[in-house]
Structure 1
């Protein structure tokens, strides 16, 4: 395996088409790549926004019988009390913080960066935001849960006042809707600026209405300067 096991492939980057003044970083779900969400994120972008869709490293995933696939961290099962891959979650979080820090170094302040993700990527977005000291512009959490939830609220170092848009389909067979509801009520105890949106009949996917809501959120949080 060597070093390659933890290296990420190059992210998909959609550069701003006007003066770059804000960035969206969006994290895909298990088994997907940055390409899976790039066009959807590009559609809701604006000329001043750069979109970064990183691809998770390929690793064996316990949940899927040890098959190797892009995954931000190992998943043992999707039960409420499943053991979690704490070292993997924290290593993935460090990679996301590096992406944020690189944007900040390039001149985009943290409060002009929206971090988002779907499913496992949405969970990582939430975890990365709450363990990041600098305030982001907003967080988009789609069809997901908060990893290592027992660490909170103590682990929340920042972004407890940052606007969060959490979305979930009420027919999700993979990450049950109830997980979304439990996550929302847990987060609201220490980060109250959260809006939870439900999509009737939506499974573990997205829909036009949800994408329109995400677009509105992004445009509100990082408008053109």
Structure 2
């Protein structure tokens, strides 16, 4: 089980958001967003820490990562075993929230950059009906296997994608291609783009809040 930071202002949450950070960061990265979102419903935020591992594109330097990155070419060879291992770890967190009494359809996955790739990988293949998935400044990994592995129960999952037009880490063209791949598989994508680099903006947080209010009520 991944180590996590949890924020919940009530004794019993009726919804959970599992939010994954990007490469080299930690679960603390998006903790300040909780206050900015100011959600009126009883939500438990779960911010897991990625395990530390060598990352090939960074010279084998050991850092928090959800999977190895062997090339800056997103369309190139991907660390399938690492991606699937992180998927399994997130599935354990989903099961933990369900065991705490949160219905699966009130559980949302969110992730930034590498964390966003993992939540897309997980949500579309999850055997339980989830409430939604937010993919921020990221791309769809292992897209070739999606047609065979997507679960019908999450065919209608509300997908929120947001990206910066000036992102040089994951170019917006990669995100747009991912959106097209999702739409070709029948997923409805709520798309947002902003005049920013590889980061999160105030305008984006406002759009995320609207999305969450719509999904969670």
**TM-score of Structure 1 vs Structure 2, range by shorter chain:** over 0.9
TM-superposed deviation, 1:42: 4.1
Partner of 1:130: 124
Residue 208 in 1 paired to residue 202 in 2? yes
- Which 4+ runs in 1 deviate beyond 4 A? none
- TM-score normalised to structure 2 length: 0.95
Structure 2, unmatched stretches of 5+, are none
TM-superposed CA distance for 1:139, in Å, is 0.6
TM-score by length of 1: 0.91
| Counterpart among 191, 194, 197 of residue 192 in structure 2 | 197
Matches within 5 A, 1:43-192: 43-44=36-37, 45-157=39-151, 158-192=153-187
Q: Describe the superposition over 1:38-93 as per-residue Cα deviations: whole angstroms up to 9, x where unpaired.
A: 11134314450010010100000011110010001111122133211111111110
Residue number in structure 2 paired with 1:30: 23
Higher mean C-alpha deviation, range 83-92 or range 72-81: 72-81
User: Which stretch has the larger CA shift, 11-20 or 133-142?
Assistant: 11-20
Question: Is contact 2:36-2:205 (8 Å) kept?
Answer: no
1:130–1:156: 8 Å Cα contact kept in structure 2? Answer: yes
2:98·2:104 contact (CA, 8 Å) conserved in 1?
yes
How far is the alpha carbon of 1:118 from its aligned partner? 0.3
Q: Is the 8 A contact 1:141 1:165 kept in 2?
A: yes
Gaps of 5+ in 1: 1-6
Verify the 8 A CA contact 1:14 1:42 in the aligned structure 2.
Answer: no
- The question of 1:39 aligning with 2:32 is answered yes
C-alpha contact (below 8 Å) 2:166/2:197 kept by paired residues = yes
Aligned Cα root-mean-square deviation (Å): 1.4
Structure 1 window deviating more from structure 2 (77-86 vs 42-51): it is 42-51
Partner SS state of residue 178, structure 1: helix
2-structure distance, mates of 1:212, 1:81: 31
